[in-house]
Amino acid sequence: MEAITTKMHWETVTYTWEVKDFLDLREMAQNELTDGCTRLESTTFNDFALWLFPNGQKQHNSVNSIDISLMYRGSKDFLVAKWSACFLDEADQPIPRTRLGDPLKKYFRGGDGRRFSYSPSDSSIQKWLVDGALRVKCEIQIAMELTSSRPVRLSTSGVDTFKQDIVRYCERDETRDVSIVCGKEVYKASRFMLAARSEVLHAMLGGKFKEASESEISFDDFPAHIAKQMLDFIHFDRCPLLEGPTKSCRNTSRRKKISDILQLYAAADKYDIRGLGELCQDALIQNMDQQTIVDIMVFAEQISSQKLLQAGQTYLQHTNAWTLWQALRGSGCAASLSIPTSLRLMECPPSDVKLC
């Protein structure tokens, strides 16, 4: 018997909230002068409103962070919706690494969705502000109605053939119409595939940036071998770095591979490459251990990756502090790194224990 497919029709609502004098409000929230400073509420838009906590919330242990929640203010008992939020720069473009999304769920009157929490440095906050204002963009997709129909059977072989055709297209020399310069290395790439797989590169190649009219693009912020991994994923939907076992490698080569995955994740995050960041994130979570946890957690704090931070904190909660401390000392990284906030839950060794 064929199953019946249920489809949703969506209404998309977009709202931009400009929080003026944000640093003053954040300072007042830090001093807890008034409740109105510790929690701000936007005007109501399409039966929704945003809550913003300039200095986080004690009840969620997010003090010194920036928290955002969505509130439903309508007359119905609930709505089914999903939403995302990010911060905007002065050109109305999303600031990299600030876009977060909540999955589809019911929003009840007076209830809020998943809390978005950002942990930027003071210098990052300064870069986010436009004339002293923090600009928040919210997009809500509301499920309006449901329709049911019998599914159209898709041919698996047809999907595979489509992917194979794209790969063959990318392998042709005539399709490589732009050069990627990374240090001393030069890689040929397809403008079409770069724009199709990355919103950032799409804007660079199709907008008013200089790259739109030039035959070369410079990637100077990460090594050439990382650029090659990223280009392989863009053109062929594969990434050799993420293939094969990691835990079976020797400690030195294993830490080198984890370091490469961290750099690849940073590149995927910067250029908003669909799917690659998630693959890197999953690989890092699977390979968390006493030798890699510090590098992964420091990186997670730098890019405000909540999934990585939560996975790391879960790992730490189930790891003996003394065993971890010995591993850190043995790896040589404990003395050279400042311990991030997310690692401070680890207890220091007792004072009466003599370190060898």
Let me know whether 131 and 191 are in one domain: no
Shared domain check, 211 and 102: no
Nearest to 134 by CA among 86, 69, 72, 63: 86
Domain count, the chain: 2
Gyration radius of the chain over CA positions: 23
Q: By the 8 A CB rule, do 95 and 80 touch?
A: no
Decide if 241 is inside a domain.
yes
Same domain assignment for residues 61 and 103: yes
Which pTM value belongs to this model? 0.49
Residue 329 lies in a domain: no
Determine the structural domain holding residue 204 and report its residue range. Answer: 178-256
Residue 249 pLDDT greater than 70, yes or no: no
Q: Is 202 domain-assigned?
A: yes
In this prediction, residue 214 carries a pLDDT of 83
**Average pLDDT of 114-142?**
90
Q: Give the separation between CA 45 and CA 180, rounded to whole angstroms.
A: 44
- pLDDT tens column, 213-238: 888 888 888 899 999 999 999 988 88
pLDDT per residue as tens digits for the range 303-326 = 888 888 888 888 888 777 766 666
Angstrom distance (rounded) from CA 230 to CA 239? 7
Give residue 181's pLDDT.
92
Say which CATH number the domain at 103 has: 2.60.210.10
Assess if residue 98 is contained within a domain.
yes
Q: Which tokens belong to 215?
A: 């035959």
CATH number, residue 217: 3.30.710.10
Q: Is 343 a member of any domain?
A: no
Among 256, 283, 307, the domain-final residue is 256
Q: Report the chain's mean pLDDT, rounded to a whole number.
A: 80
190, part of any domain: yes
Burial class (CB in 10 A: 0-12, 13-18, 19+), 309: buried
What's the confidence (pLDDT) of residue 138?
A: 93
Structure tokens at 153: 């059977």
Query: What is the share, in percent, of the chain residues with pLDDT greater than 70?
Result: 78
Q: How many whole angstroms separate alpha carbon 219 and alpha carbon 182?
A: 5
